[in-house]
Structure 1
Amino acid sequence: MVRRAAHPPSRILYGVIELQHLTKRYGGTLAVDDLSFKVEPGHVTGFLGPNGSGKSTTMRLILGLDAPTSGQALINGRRYSSFGKPMREVGALLDAGAVHGGRSAYNHLLCLARTNDIGPMRVAEVLEQVGLAGVARKRVAGFSLGMKQRLGIASALLGDPGVLMFDEPVNGLDPDGVRWIRDLMRSLAAEGRTVLLSSHLMSEMALTAERIVVVGRGKLITDATVAQLTARYPTLEDAYMALTSDSVQFGAAR
């Protein structure tokens, strides 16, 4: 079971991610094209699509890292930029390598915590939770990719948020680490949180997610349960390959 935060909650635990006609252009490239769907609490939603499908751009738009050309992305009915202490509302791992290598794991998390009025006790809790307590004082520059992934997950969990987003969180993890991620995602959802998970590992997605959103060329292809998809196709991988066969492209936005 995931440990709860030491600080008292300032909001309801659960939330909803809602995209309303979300569109993003980069010059002449249409990266996200009139995309609308909801991610609801209580289960893991898998976010799938070929390279160039707009998955990473969509996640950046949800987190306010890019501005939409039109439409909007809402979390609990609000834009990410409206949250005064966003880490208590939304936790995200988009790039495990985006860490100052000269800092220790503990100091990296402590700096993030201070920006959102989160105490040092919570830093120690999440380091223990992700299995990094023994290397908390070591510099991140010496971490393997798998250790950086765990640190990124700790960052996402730091504010004990009701909404969580993970982009390829199993990169660099050994089989035990992959199983740990699977169990963690499912336990977070079982607590009533909203979990959006992007991954290319279909076998893991089949074991972890209950609902699947597939995009291609920036458009929504399908929004269905894993059970619905595997009732129509032999496996989730077969469903994915059939649904995206016309959407593979090269050189476009991620």
Structure 2
Amino acid sequence: MIETRGLTKRHGPTAAVDGLSFDVWPGAVTGFLGPNGSGKSTTMRMIMGLDRPDAGTARIGGRPYGALGWPLREVGALLEARTFHPGRSAYQHLAALAAANGIRRSRVDEVLDTVGLTGVARRRAGTFSLGMAQRLGIAGALLGDPAVLLFDEPVNGLDPEGVRWIRNLMKSLAADGRTVLLSSHLISEMALTADHLVVIGQGRLLADTSVAELTAGGRALEEAFFELTGDSAAYRGTDAPPAAERGRL
């Protein structure tokens, strides 16, 4: 699982993330929602050890990312689409990642097939469209067959067929018992993909609840989201048991 406790990150006088605490559990797609600038990407970067928090902790399986022995085998992430050398082919990019992380070479072909890039595996990745770059990034996240996965706006640049593919992939990964944290600005798509939601605003936790609970009474997720993220919004917890009761603090 992923745990954040009191996670805080400041940029000068501004708190990008402000005392944020939540858990992401295996076996479900947890949607990570918030307005632009709410701190979603910063939070994910701190979970992945790319940004150092000013206070608080982020742990994966009880350990900070930097303490993981073989990170790519334990955690896969797509935080930015174009994190590859543009002169390398998709195959070369993934093969280099596999070699650096002790992953069998045959796994490269498997993930290329999973993301639908087998036919362009030998093309230079720098020629890829944004949607193809997203697929390559997802292949990299899946390469080590990790139990924990983080995706920041993975549907960017994808056509409707690609968006549907992402939705089905996220659900299948969670059904395998993996921990999946998915950030997206497409609220309607999140309603179709996520089982649980963590909603933040101005770096603070606003809701930690199931999609079903947040949309109870027949209201749309979009309506509930805008109600939560208004200026007067305060934290709203629902069906998730307190962390202390779960023995996870």
Whole-Å Cα distance in 2 between the matches of residues 31 and 45 of structure 1? 21
**Counterpart AA for 1:128:** D
Structure 2: segments with no counterpart, 5+ residues: 234-249
Whole-Å Cα distance in 2 between the matches of residues 22 and 89 of structure 1? 22
> Alpha-carbon deviation of 1:75?
0.3
> Alpha-carbon deviation of 1:100?
1.1
Whole-Å Cα distance in 1 between the matches of residues 86 and 218 of structure 2? 45
**How many residue pairs end up in the alignment?**
233
> Alpha-carbon deviation of 1:114?
1.3
> Alpha-carbon deviation of 1:196?
0.3
Whole-Å Cα distance in 2 between the matches of residues 27 and 83 of structure 1? 30
Structure 1: segments with no counterpart, 5+ residues: 1-15, 249-254
CA distance 1:233–1:29, shift in 2 (3 Å): farther
Deviations along 1:142-201, whole A, 9 cap, x unmatched? 111110010000000000000000000011111111111000000000000000000011
Identity %: 67
> Alpha-carbon deviation of 1:26?
1.9
Per the normalisation by structure 1, the TM-score is: 0.90
Question: Which of the numbers 56, 73, 82 marks the counterpart of 1:88?
Answer: 73
Question: Which of the numbers 109, 113, 123 marks the counterpart of 1:128?
Answer: 113
Q: Structure 1 residue runs of 4+, over 2 Å off? A: none
**Counterpart AA for 1:104:** S
- Bigger CA drift: 209-218 or 239-248? 239-248
Q: Report the equivalent of 1:7.
A: none
Q: Report the equivalent of 1:57.
A: 42
Over the residues paired in the alignment, what is the CA RMSD in angstroms?
1.2
CA distance 1:233–1:53, shift in 2 (3 Å): farther
**Counterpart AA for 2:167:** R
What pairs with 1:1-254 in structure 2 (closer than 5 Å)?
A: 16-231=1-216, 234-246=219-231
Helix, strand or coil at the partner of 1:67: coil
> Alpha-carbon deviation of 1:98?
2.0
> Alpha-carbon deviation of 1:115?
1.4
